[in-house]
Structure 1
């Protein structure tokens, strides 16, 4: 149960004075959190959502000239007398605007209202009385006017007009004034809360209390107040990061406490696999295996992330870890996010596992009927050592006889909550967990999204890999590029041609891919294939198999080939409209080439003129192949919410904290979270109660539930 003192903040906005059904609907549209469901349906906006809706600018209303001295196009605050009301009569089938003539000693001006309520305006601006008005001054038909003034107030007494007014992101139909009134109501409901952060740390940073910081956030006085270094923003960012780090630490503590098992083996199966490999393991692979072995041998639960750059050999490390589990008498499972990637893993692992006589099977949505039943029975009878499939594989009642190790690939597509749900399904009592990603993750995001996991890092390429030559080419030279592809194909090369990411529309992406496919077939004939997300699994496999066998020289594709596709003979990657892709995605796509003996190249085709951000991204791609450097640059250029390509569900969406700007605060929050849990494992006592308040305030309720569940 949420502490009673926070209940007022989680009530719907309709409880505020002045928020009727129309304003409530607009606030719901603007602020309501998405509730889980097939279409991510919006819930209702609450007072807490208003408090976290921060201003993005301010309006200075201190300029108070006479009418005659007022500059056009600027916001002015005028003291005027109401001289005349002119209700708008019918005009060409629609109602003319309502005009109110106001004056001062120097001139006159019209106040213009559309769809006006006459009685309301007569009360707001009574004849012969003085009022202060504020808004943007315009000229229409040779006359000065102000359309729908932002503020109208009595000259003396009353609320008056703010000298500096914060400006918020809005939605159609909602005015800044209406939103500001609702936010003022939410601020009044803000309770006094006890301090949960170390007092010395708060004093050292010269921070105010939580409540005062929230109020300061909504009353900016200058542009400096919008900087990440503003004390109120820093204080609230730290609170949010502390809630995040506490929740992850509680999750980690809870999972580590669960019954693990000690899995160790002499290494006979591993030796059989390694001896047959056509390459030697890199130092990074050997180091990562030592870390994984130590975790598996420890009776505590293993929770490890294997982070490898493109082509760094994660799959072999995962196979060797699974071989240890099998030799120790257990089964292993590998889950991939797509069927294409699951099949790719199956082919690679089956080939490398053959010298150790490991029994490897694949289970996806495509295996049905008797074939599926036979696999399930063999699994239950321990006649399968390693089962490979998609995540859907574990959403069913699939029974292993003794699952010792679960490997999850491309975990960045799934968040902490999915990871928690997976553990809760108990895939075999105390199964060890190894998570893999080919997307290098910056250190800051590792802390915020993977703080519950230990990390092994593959930061070396296998020996003999040549760098991929990367060039940027304007789309105006498309014909030259196609001529070059024609020559490369004649010389025996195979080519990926990735089509532009048009937007969130698969239909548009597909249209772009089909158009390029038709164009290249016209030039190169039947040796061009097409693969995209709307093909069935079987159709995709057929085209990919033709490309892998060398029957197709050019594969036109949408980003469906971003991860896991491995055709060593492919040596040219063309990315059309590269300026539309994120850095991480460009890096993943480039990683599809450079896997064989031939010198590989990547052409980034861009459309002029290039924006500043796009130019920086393409320059980074030209200057380095190091995925970890690229990931840090991606974070710097795009910010934490957008890193790893398009926004990923697994990354926490912070409402105040900004990464990487607040990464120093993140490190401090992690240290404080660990210290607190070492002293109060169940957040007991008075200080623990205060930290629980913080978790509820930032809606990290899952952590509290985990502690209660023990």
Structure 2
């Protein structure tokens, strides 16, 4: 049960005065973590301002800089209404001792303006100044007040991330009302720790952030934001530590086979394992031998050979008589894993099957019967594998590919499919250390840093779109000499229609320019159409594949040696690196062309620079985190860190480490969170939406 002290914070925003269903829906779209529920007061209060406006800034008209928000004390000179019925704006001129200014109003109500700006009177006006033809103007000022009223204007105003259809004043009012209902909560942080950091109490910090007096009150390095960010990170780390503890408590199976099956798989490889692969296999084997469940993250850069390590792990478990499953995020990937594992499984005598959402009911039934009878050792599939109905005779190990699409809930669901199921998670997105702690704090980590022998680094160049014809010509020459190329067009979130047109146009232009058939893949096509396009590119029937970013993860055509990424400035670093990983998968020299539209912004230029300088995914991931924040690295769209509202990894990475150690210590001293601090920590978990961890406490 949620502690009753939190009830006021879990009231819906529509319980606030003046917030009807329509505004509640708009606010929920802005502040709730899911679209299918109404926001609570807690959601609203964790929507923190990103900056502030200082209304105390009064430079005088002549000294107001372009784009600055200023407060001016002026004498109203004259009204200049546009012609009646016309569209022209309404202008009012005013002056102070330094110069004159024009106030501009569109769709004006003339009687209201004459009342608010009486000619010859003094008024205090605050808003953004813009200089136009060397003359200052202010369009629709934020405040226009008499001298008496000006005393009540807020000196400092917080500025919030906003959404269409919501007025700033409405949001401010709702926040003010929500703050009045903020209860006094028990202190969940250690007293000495708070004192050492000179941090305020939770409610004091939250009030200061919404009613800032100085810039420092909102600074990510300031005491208020750091205090709340640490609360959030501790909630996350405590939840992960509880998941880990519960997975461990459920007990594992000690698996110590002779290793002959694993050896057969490794011997069937056309190459020998890299040092990193051999070390990862050794780590996994020692995990499997323990009577504790394995929870391991296998991080490897694009093309570092994770699948081989996964198959070696699966062979080890299959030799003990258990079954294995490999889960991929898309059907293309599932089929690809199946195809690449097939020859190795045949050589080792492992019975392999593929299960996807496309199977007919009859195929699904036959597969299910074989799984139940233990006639299949290893099944490869998409999410379809873990829908309620699929069962196993004896599931021993699950390998999950591209982890960031599977959260803690799914990790728990997988493990319910068998007795003491071990879990190995693979990700091709090199993730910076702090982010590994954020999302995989419950796992041990193996990293593959070398590429398999014989692979050549990809040469990367950046070229302005002005030279498009030249690039098309070069691609034509490369194809005539027998090479294959990808051409990637960006997705613009706002409009699928525009994207589709862009991809289809590029496809047409290339077919015409090169005088040959070109394959096309985009998100609106059916799985069959995508498979057919992919197959004709793989077989060499077509030599160019034009695609949106659907090819980003895992598509494997070893003889493709060129990738052109159009509008490279629109992509994040991690995504550019993933796309580049589609080439350089053989011993032939490969190249990546980053086509950009000039002029480049500072961040975009820095990104393209890093891509030219290095092929090291881990280095790229650290840079990406520095340039952009953690959210997008893990494929969540909003900037900032996945699942966090206040904490930002680029600012609070140091706190993440402390939170992890604190969480471990808490569970060592009070494993059931029953002590006085334990009760307060339960409040913390509920407050930050980590209540699934509390269910684990009860189950444990």
> What is the TM-score normalised by the length of structure 1?
0.88
Residues 545-595 of structure 1: per-residue CA shift (max 9 Å, x gap):
332233322222222222222222221122122112221111111111112
Q: Does 1:448 align with 2:407?
A: no
Q: Does 1:266 align with 2:258?
A: yes
Residue 370 to residue 55, structure 1, CA distance change in 2 (3 Å): closer
The CA deviation at 1:420 is 2.9
**Helix, strand or coil for the counterpart of 2:327?**
strand
Residue 504 to residue 435, structure 1, CA distance change in 2 (3 Å): farther
Match of 1:58 among 52, 63, 69: 52
Aligned to 2:475: 485
Aligned to 1:348: 340
Aligned to 1:392: 384
Contact 2:238 2:663 (8 Å CA) reproduced: yes
Contact 2:91 2:102 (8 Å CA) reproduced: no
Contact 1:582 1:646 (8 Å CA) reproduced: no
Aligned to 2:305: 313
CA distance in 2, matches of 1:389, 1:177: 51
CA distance in 1, matches of 2:624, 2:63: 49
**Helix, strand or coil for the counterpart of 2:649?**
coil
Deviates more, 1:619-628 or 1:376-385: 376-385
Contact 1:60 1:163 (8 Å CA) reproduced: yes
Segments of structure 1 that go 5 or more residues without pairing to the other structure are none
Contact 1:130 1:155 (8 Å CA) reproduced: no
Contact 1:261 1:298 (8 Å CA) reproduced: yes
The CA deviation at 1:680 is 0.8
Aligned residue-pair number: 695
Aligned to 1:427: 417
Contact 1:501 1:581 (8 Å CA) reproduced: no
CA distance in 2, matches of 1:442, 1:160: 48
CA distance in 2, matches of 1:145, 1:349: 67
CA distance in 2, matches of 1:309, 1:107: 61
Aligned to 1:670: 660
CA distance in 1, matches of 2:465, 2:482: 25
Contact 2:486 2:562 (8 Å CA) reproduced: yes
**Helix, strand or coil for the counterpart of 1:334?**
strand
Residues 134-157 of structure 1: per-residue CA shift (max 9 Å, x gap):
5568999x999995753758939x
Match of 1:628 among 606, 618, 637: 618
The CA deviation at 1:133 is 6.8
Q: Does 1:179 align with 2:171?
A: yes
Aligned to 2:534: 544
Segments of structure 2 that go 5 or more residues without pairing to the other structure are none
Q: Give the CA RMSD over aligned residues.
A: 3.9
Aligned to 2:455: 465
CA distance in 2, matches of 1:112, 1:45: 35
Residue 268 to residue 112, structure 1, CA distance change in 2 (3 Å): closer
Q: Does 1:212 align with 2:204?
A: yes
Match of 1:49 among 43, 46, 51: 43
Aligned to 2:318: 326
Match of 1:408 among 400, 407, 415: 400
Contact 1:153 1:161 (8 Å CA) reproduced: no
Aligned to 1:277: 269
CA distance in 2, matches of 1:492, 1:413: 37
CA distance in 2, matches of 1:205, 1:416: 31
Deviates more, 1:545-554 or 1:564-573: 545-554
Deviates more, 1:504-513 or 1:5-14: 504-513
Match of 1:379 among 363, 368, 371: 371
Residues 235-258 of structure 1: per-residue CA shift (max 9 Å, x gap):
111111111111111111111111
Aligned to 1:563: 553
Aligned to 2:352: 360
Residue 298 to residue 648, structure 1, CA distance change in 2 (3 Å): farther
> What is the TM-score normalised by the length of structure 2?
0.89
The CA deviation at 1:656 is 1.1
Aligned to 2:143: 150
Contact 1:70 1:76 (8 Å CA) reproduced: no
Residues 31-67 of structure 1: per-residue CA shift (max 9 Å, x gap):
3x154xxxx33x3333223322222332333357999
CA distance in 2, matches of 1:549, 1:673: 53
Aligned to 1:5: 5
The CA deviation at 1:342 is 0.6
Residue 667 to residue 178, structure 1, CA distance change in 2 (3 Å): same
Alignment of 1:595-674 (within 5 A): 595-645=585-635, 647=637, 652-674=642-664
